[in-house]
Amino acid sequence: MIRKGYSDGPYGQVHWRMLAPEGPPTKPDLYCLHPAPFSGLAFTTIMPHLAEGRRIFAPDYPGHGGSDPFKEEPTIEEYAAAMMEVVDHQSGSGPVDLMGFHTGNLVAAEMALTAPEKVRLLALVDVPAFDAETSAKFRAASAKTFEITPDLACLEGPWERGMTKRIESQTLERSFEMFTEQLRPGRLMNKAFHAAFSYDVDARLPAVRHDTLILASQSGLLNATRHAAEIMPTATLVERLDIKRAVLDEAAEITAAEILKFLDRTSS
């Protein structure tokens, strides 16, 4: 059963989900860093497939999910600092592994850079490592606050992102769950996107020295993910172009198998 709890952090309380293996843990804890604008809820389908001999944590960034509200202009560095507080609180002095998805990959990379002694391995899935021109375009678009109006039309974007694009690969209940979760940041819904597009991937990703799996699916991030693998000197790129949607849900078993193959192959 997935447990829930809170850890104190530099920006207030951080909410997390945790799934323990059936027996005593024998492998490092795995922390799953979520995509914008959702929360650790994004990993609840895949968590049971990952919890083989290890505890799986899925925290919510400040301002997301069940964590405390956060500032108007957050940064990836601040998200990483908050997530490291959870690691210190829950995993003590032992090394941990990190898994990211979309925005979560940047948070995972920054955690590895700021606390290299605490992180063992990285598994990054579909990395938004865009070129400077693309990042600038998306950064400008995501700078605006989400406008909440009495008109139901204001929810069309979140509805498309959470429901329309998901209902063929997920249950209606799961799609609706994800739709409502992205609304929790309220008018600051776009700010995690803005933090991601403001992060200097070409400067930061090459500095990561941890063994890293970069898993690419057949998605709009395919070329960006390939770019991430090119600029990260310790990365191993695995392309699963048979995964075309719902990486953490419909394709959860395939995604988890690739991640566990990497984590367990390199276990010490």
pLDDT tens sequence across 79-98? 999 999 999 999 998 899 99
183: pLDDT strictly greater than 80: yes
| CB-based contact 47:20 (threshold 8 Å) | no
Model pLDDT, residue 165 = 85
Read off the pLDDT band of 161 (50, 70, 90).
confident
255: pLDDT strictly greater than 90: yes
Q: What is the rounded average pLDDT of the residues 56-78?
A: 97
Model pLDDT, residue 167 = 85
| CB-based contact 134:201 (threshold 8 Å) | no
Q: Residues near 147 by Cβ (< 8 Å), separated by ≥ 6?
A: 154, 187
3-state helix, strand, coil in the chain (%, to 5): 40, 20, 40
9: pLDDT strictly greater than 50: yes
Model pLDDT, residue 266 = 56
Length of the chain: 268
Q: What is the rounded average pLDDT of the residues 222-241?
A: 97
Model pLDDT, residue 93 = 87
Q: What is the rounded average pLDDT of the residues 66-89?
A: 97
Tell me the chain's radius of gyration from C-alpha atoms. 17
Coil/strand/helix, residue 188 = helix
Walk me through the domains of the chain, giving residue ranges and CATH numbers. 3-145+191-265 (3.40.50.1820)
Q: What is the rounded average pLDDT of the residues 94-123?
A: 97
Model pLDDT, residue 243 = 96
155: pLDDT strictly greater than 90: yes
Q: Give this prediction's pTM.
A: 0.96
Average pLDDT over the chain reads 95
